[in-house]
Structure 1
Amino acid sequence: MGTAWAGLLVAVVGVAGTLGAALLTQNRADRTKRMELQAAAEQRREERDHAEELLRAEQARQRQSESLERRRTCYITLNTTARQYLTAMTNHLHALQRGEDVDASLKDLETGRFSFRDSYAEAQMIAPDAVLRAASAAKKHLNTAYGKLRKYGTPPSAGDGELSFLEEEFHQEVWPHLGEMKRAMRADLGVDD
């Protein structure tokens, strides 16, 4: 009976080895498949994260581009209205010196002042501090010149001397601040001289 038991034992070990090998192979195949699925899921997650990062970068570029365009439009309006305001002051000054068309020039002056005020208010909401400092200085000098000019509702009786002094003051005091404002706006927009 010893050989029968030995044969049976060899048969049991052979069957157990065969079944164990199949189970071990299946287990390894399952683990390999899980690892492949995890790797694929990780790759999809990385691709999704990369796509989201690209989307965020594109949105940031778009916001930056829109901001630049908004500032550019605002700066064009502010620069234009400031120059028109000063031109209207100069025209009113000349009308006072000539003693003609004073009412029409005063109306144009007030229109220019209101337009500048509105564009300056818009700039306060859009422009960075460096531009606002320059715009504020220009506004201050424009309004000071306006205040001096408005003292004369009709042609002055003292002659043109005081009015000529005002015109000179416009050129020496106001124009440089408008130029500084323009330089600050161009610098913010990245425009080289």
Structure 2
Amino acid sequence: MGGSLTALLIAVVGVAGTLGAALLTQNRADRTKRMELQAAAEQRREERAHAEEQLRAERERQKQSESLERRRTCYITLNTASRQYVTAMTNHVHAIRRGEDVVVSLENLEAARAAYRDSYAEAQMIVPNAVARASGAAKHRLNEAYGKLRKYAAAPSTYAAELAAMEPELHEEVWPAVTAMRVAMRLDLGIDDD
């Protein structure tokens, strides 16, 4: 009986070893497959995150480009309106001093003033602080000159000396403020103004 028990024991160990090897192999294969699936899922997450980051960056670039274009359009309008406003004031001073038809020059001045106010109001909503400070200083000079001009125009004979000084004041005080505003706008747009 000793020999048959040994043979049976050997047979049981052999079958158990064969079954155990198959289970161990299957277990390792399952674990390898899980690791591959996890790696693939991680790679998809990374690719998705990268794609989302690229999309965010593209949206930010587009937003900056749109903002730059919006400011550029606003700056063109504000610069044009402020220059036309100063020119209309100068023309009105000339009309008063020459005794010409001031009604037409006053209408032109009021139209230029209204256009400037509209463009300035738009600029207040979109320009950065540096440009807002420069445009505010220009607005102050323009409004101050306009107030004086309206006062002097009401009684030109009383304010003849002041009217004579008005044109140099426009050139020496108002134009430099408008120029400083233009320089600030160009700097904001990235235009080198050497």
Question: TM-score when scaled to structure 1?
Answer: 0.96
8 A Cα contact 1:141 1:173, kept in partner: yes
Deviation at 1:109, TM superposition (A): 0.4
Partner of 2:3: 3
Equivalent positions of 1:33-52 (< 5 A) are 33-52=33-52
Aligned counterparts of 1:144 and 1:93: Cα–Cα separation in 2: 15
> How far apart, in 1, do the equivalents of 2:159 and 2:20 lie?
119
Match of 1:72 in 2: 72
Query: In the alignment, what sits opposite 1:162?
Result: 162
Check whether the contact 2:131–2:181 (CA below 8 A) recurs between aligned residues: yes
Q: Is the contact between residue 141 and residue 177 of structure 2 (CA under 8 Å) also seen in structure 1?
A: yes
Q: Does 1:99 align with 2:99?
A: yes
SS at match of 2:152: coil
CA distance in 2, matches of 1:26, 1:112: 87
Q: Is the 8 A contact 1:97 1:155 kept in 2?
A: no
Tell me the equivalent position of 1:24.
24
Q: Which runs of 4+ in 1 moved over 3 A?
A: 152-155, 158-161
Instruction: Kindly tell me the number of residue pairs found equivalent between the two proteins.
Output: 193
On the 8 A contact 1:134/1:181 being kept in 2, the answer is yes
2:82 counterpart residue number: 82
Q: How does 1:168-187 map to 2 (within 5 A)?
A: 168-187=168-187
How many angstroms does 1:161 deviate by? Answer: 3.5
1:189 alignment partner AA: L
Aligned-residue offset at 1:158: 5.1
* Paired position in structure 2 for 1:145: 145
Name the % identity: 72
2:152 touches 2:163 (CA, 8 Å); kept in 1?
Answer: no
How big is each residue's C-alpha offset from its partner over 1:102-133, in whole Å with a ceiling of 9 and x where there is no partner?
Answer: 10110010011111111111111000111011
Contact 1:99 1:154 in 2 (8 A): no
Task: Give the drift of 1:160.
Answer: 5.0
Shift, 1:151, TM fit = 1.4
Question: What RMSD over aligned residues (CA atoms) do the two structures have, in Å?
Answer: 1.3
| Preserved contact between residue 152 and residue 159 of structure 2 (Cα < 8 Å) | no
Name stretches of at least 5 consecutive residues in structure 2 with no aligned partner.
none
Corresponding residue number in structure 2 for 1:110: 110
Aligned-residue offset at 1:153? 3.6
TM-score, structure 2 normalization: 0.96
What are the within-5 Å matches in structure 2 for residues 122-141 of structure 1?
122-141=122-141
AA partner of residue 162 (structure 1): E
Deviations 1:76-98 (A, max 9, x none): 11111000000110111111111
